[in-house]
Structure formats: structure tokens, C-alpha cells
Amino acid sequence: MMNISQHDMTRATPVALQAIQQKPAISVVGLGYVGAVSCACLSDLGHSILGVDVDRMKLEQIARGVAPFHERNLDTMLAAGVESGLISTTDNLVQAVCDTDVTFLSVGTPTAKDGGCDYSYIEAAARSIGKGLARKTEFHVVVMRCSVPPGTTLGLMTPILEKISGKVAGKDFGICFNPEFLREGVAVDDFYTPPKTVVGTTDPKTANIMRQIYLPVDENVIQTSIETAEMVKYVDNIWHATKVSFANEVGRLCKSLGVDGHDVMDVFIQDTKLNLGPCYLKPGFAYGGSCLPKEVRAVAHIASNMGVDLPLIQSLDRSNKAHIEAAIEMVRRTGVKRVGVLGIAFKPGTDDLRESPILEVMAALTAEGIEIVAHDMAITSDTPISGQMGYVRHGSPGLQALAADLPDILQEDISDVLKKSDALIVTHANDTYRRAVARAGKRPVLDLVRISSVTQCAENYEGIGW
């Protein structure tokens, strides 16, 4: 092994030597932003770290305890790791795998010419890691930390490792996807107080090794599938970008109206139940009711009148309609001509039909000659809807189209819905409808609400977003 930073281990403190003996040695491949921070922080936790890169300048800087970029406290921590003998560097990835217990892969994944992900660095690193695995008899864990599309770790990297090493993932070596959530400028702080620690694995031994690595900074490691862990990284960043864009659009609109956007958002963020909490952040059906659709349109109208371009806010209605169309297409694919709908109010526990998105689905299917029957826990054929009709003319074409036929469409007994339908659409989650679905037999069940926390596995079941 060519070790640019060769330290005499007799210089290491007793505490450092004890840590080396007790904790897995980690090779960190790619000494860019994530890799360099990982080297510093993991060495501070007592791990022997071997930094790996093809860039000699980065290797030499890390070996001297110098950060290759500006990041608060990183120089100090790298210097401490080098001084203690816990950090060394090399350009020999094959040997680095042989000399460590865990390999963190943090190489670049730049945008490819077609706009997708360039996998060339991952593939090259995987080939070298595979050669290292072939030389080992001990169980070794390979941890992907790059931002990659779901399926990359198991579908691209793992086959290369297995082919070159001649070993089997999950049995002879471990595979993990461990996304990082480090913000530039406060990355060291984020390592020690992480917003969350996510570990995607396929075997319990790997999961336990990863939990032990992160135990000093997070006792509540989230263990999940590799694919989920891969997607979480993308979704987090998309959400952050969405928040930035949303706040900026609010600011532009407020400015045009002579309102202080910071004052508005200072009040907005104090609501940690609805605005900054988990509400509304689970895949399900389209939004509806008397407030959201109406007020999205109103704000878009105000912006248009003021000459303010709000692409995000103004696209919400289009996004909602696309989700409704997705539900319609789910029904079309079944080829059935009789459909039962369980839940027609815009949400459970109310008889409010105003802008209920399922009514748009029902109206479209009816127009295509599909027979509809429905049941709702809070609505019967006698429920007065005249008071809701004021919303019909400009806001709820589905309710307008179905209003006269609703008494005939609604069934008092769920058994009648089952008898008169060849497929079921479920929009409300309750035990009554779960029991009805259990009686559905082989007919298609189209779930728009996630009636169970456990994904259904039956061939006739399809969720709209899962």
C-alpha cells in the first residue's frame, strides 16, 4: 500500500489505541466535501480512518491535517486525527479495502450528458473494491453515500462487487446505503447533531455494524431498505428546494401587495402542527374541500392581476388535476364497466362534497360509460347538498355533473356496492372499508388513501402512490 501519510503508531495516545482496537477501521473513498468531513468526524469518534482518492493534492492535504476546502472546524479536527495516528491516506483502493473493515464510498456523481446521473466513478470504485473483497476472508461492509437514483446500489454497484470478488452480498460482505445530510458551512455540527441517520441494508449484520458506528451521535438510527434510503436523499433535497421556492414566491407576491413577506412567514413558521409538521406529507389522493382549491386559485388570480409570476403556486392546480387523472387512468387499465367507490366526501368524517376530487373521477368515468355505485359513512341519499351547490358553477364540475344522480349512486349497504361492482376505489381509511376490501375477492382494488400501513401484496391491489 502506498501510504502518503505514514504515522508511527507508537505516537498514538492510549485512548486512540484502545479505540482502534475496539472500533472498525473505515476506508473513505473520495475526499471531497462529504469524504473529508467523514474522515475528520469518524476519526474523532475513535475509528482508524484511511482516506482514498486519485487526487494527490487532496491526499497530501488530508495527510497533513489540512482541509481541502473551507469548512468551520474541519482543519482542527483533521489535524487532531492525523496527530493521533487515526487518519492516514492512500491512492490504493484495493489495499485500503484489505486493511479496513468498512468502506464508505463518497465519489462524485455528476450530471450526465442526458441529464441523468454519471455512474463512471462509482463503477470504477466498485471494480477496485471488488478486487479488495476477493482478497479478504473477513466480513466487510461497503457503504454507498453518493446521491444516486433508487436501484443503483443493488442494481449497479452490487453486481460489480459480486462479479469481481466472487462473493455474495449479504452473506460474504455487507451492502449499505447511508445518505448524508450535511450542510456546507455547518457540516461538522450536523454530523454530531444529525437531523436523522438513515441506514439502508439487506442483512442484520451490516445494520448492526452501522448502528454501532453512529451510536455516539444518534441512538435512534432509522433502518430501512436500500431503495428507500436512496430515495430519501433525493426527496429531502427536492423538499428543501421547494421550501426555498415557495418562500421566495410568497415574498414576491407580498411585495407586490405592500405586505412584508418576512412578517408573514414569521407567523407561518410558528405553526408546527400543520405548516412545519408531518400533516399533508404522505402520498394519498388529490386535495379538495371548500378551502384549498378555492384559495390556490385565488392566489394565482391575485398574482396574475399584479403581474407577478409564481410558477410553483400557479402549478399546484395543474399538479392536483394530474393526480386526479392518474386515478382515472388506474380505473381505465382494469377494463371494468362497473366500479364501486368507498368514500365520496373530500375527506373522512364530513359530508362535505365541495370540490371532492373523487367526484371528478366518478364524473369522468360516468362520461365514458362506466357505471358507478358508492358508499360514504357520513352521506346518504337523503343528505342535503343544496347548500353546497354554490361552489358548483365555477369550482366543482364533478359535483355539478353528478348532483342529480347521487341519490341513485349512493348505496345504504356496503354489500350492495360489492354486488354491483367489478372493481373498488377506496378513498377513506376506516375499519368498515378495510373489511369490505377483504371481501373484494379477485376484483381490482384501487387504493387512493393507503387503507393499511402495510403495503398490500395481492395481485389485484394497486395504490396510487405506493
Q: 188 pLDDT exceeds 90? A: yes
Alpha helices in 307-356 (DSSP H): 311-314, 316-334
DSSP structure string for 47-109: --EEEE-S-HHHHHHHHTT--SS--TTHHHHHHHHHHTT-EEEES-HHHHHHH-SEEEE----
Q: Could you tell me the three cell numbers for 291?
A: 378551502
Confidence of residue 387 (pLDDT cuts 50, 70, 90): low
Q: Are 221 and 200 in contact (CB under 8 A)?
A: no
With b for 16 or more beta-carbon neighbours within 10 A and e for fewer, the 147-164 pattern comes to: bbbbebbbebbbebbbeb
Confidence of residue 318 (pLDDT cuts 50, 70, 90): very high
Confidence of residue 392 (pLDDT cuts 50, 70, 90): low
Q: CA 425 to CA 409: how far, in whole Å?
A: 14
What is the SS3 assignment for 339? Answer: strand
Alpha-carbon separation of residue 281 from 284, 462, 463 (angstroms) = 9, 20, 16
The residues with which 222 forms a beta bridge, in sequence order, are 198
Position 317 scores a pLDDT of 93
Q: CA 45 to CA 194: how far, in whole Å?
A: 15
Position 396 scores a pLDDT of 73
Position 314 scores a pLDDT of 94
Overall average pLDDT of the 232-237 stretch: 93
Overall average pLDDT of the 69-96 stretch: 96
Q: 457 pLDDT exceeds 70? A: no
Q: What is the pLDDT of residues 332-373, one digit of tens each?
A: 999 999 999 999 999 998 888 888 999 999 999 999 999 999
Confidence of residue 121 (pLDDT cuts 50, 70, 90): very high
Q: CA 319 to CA 306: how far, in whole Å?
A: 23
Position 1 scores a pLDDT of 33
* Sign of the dihedral through C-alpha 269, 186, 200, 112: positive
Overall average pLDDT of the 228-232 stretch: 96
Q: 161 pLDDT exceeds 50? A: yes
The 10 Å Cβ neighbour count of residue 258 is 6
Confidence of residue 274 (pLDDT cuts 50, 70, 90): very high
Q: What is the pLDDT of residues 10-28, one digit of tens each?
A: 334 444 444 445 899 999 9
Position 215 scores a pLDDT of 97
Overall average pLDDT of the 148-167 stretch: 96
Position 411 scores a pLDDT of 95
Position 263 scores a pLDDT of 97
Parallel/antiparallel/unpaired status of strands 198-201 and 173-177: antiparallel
Confidence of residue 394 (pLDDT cuts 50, 70, 90): low
Overall average pLDDT of the 186-213 stretch: 96
Q: CA 86 to CA 42: how far, in whole Å?
A: 9
Position 393 scores a pLDDT of 58
Catalytic-role residue among 117, 254, 279, 291: 291
Q: What residues contact 382, with CB distance under 8 A and at least 6 apart? A: 407
Q: Are 181 and 195 in contact (CB under 8 A)?
A: yes
Q: 64 pLDDT exceeds 70? A: yes
Strands, E assignment, 106-178: 140-144, 173-177
Q: What would the 3-class secondary structure string for 249-313 be?
A: HHHHHHHHCCCCHHHHHHHHCCCCCCCCCCCCCCCCCCCCCCCHHHHHHHHHHHHHHHCCCCHHH
Active site (annotated) includes residue 39? no
Confidence of residue 395 (pLDDT cuts 50, 70, 90): low
Position 237 scores a pLDDT of 92
Phi (first) and psi of residue 283, to 5 degrees: -55, 135
DSSP structure string for 173-241: EEEEE----PPTTSHHHHHHS-S--EEEESSHHHHHHHHHHHTTT-S--EEE-HHHHHHHHHHHHHHHH
Q: What is the pLDDT of residues 217-228, one digit of tens each?
A: 999 999 999 999
Q: Share the mean pLDDT of the chain.
A: 91
| pLDDT top residue among 21 and 394 | 394
Confidence of residue 455 (pLDDT cuts 50, 70, 90): low
Least confident span in 6-10, 340-344, 390-394: 6-10
| pLDDT top residue among 47 and 293 | 47
Percent of the chain residues topping a pLDDT of 70: 92
Percent of the chain residues topping a pLDDT of 90: 81
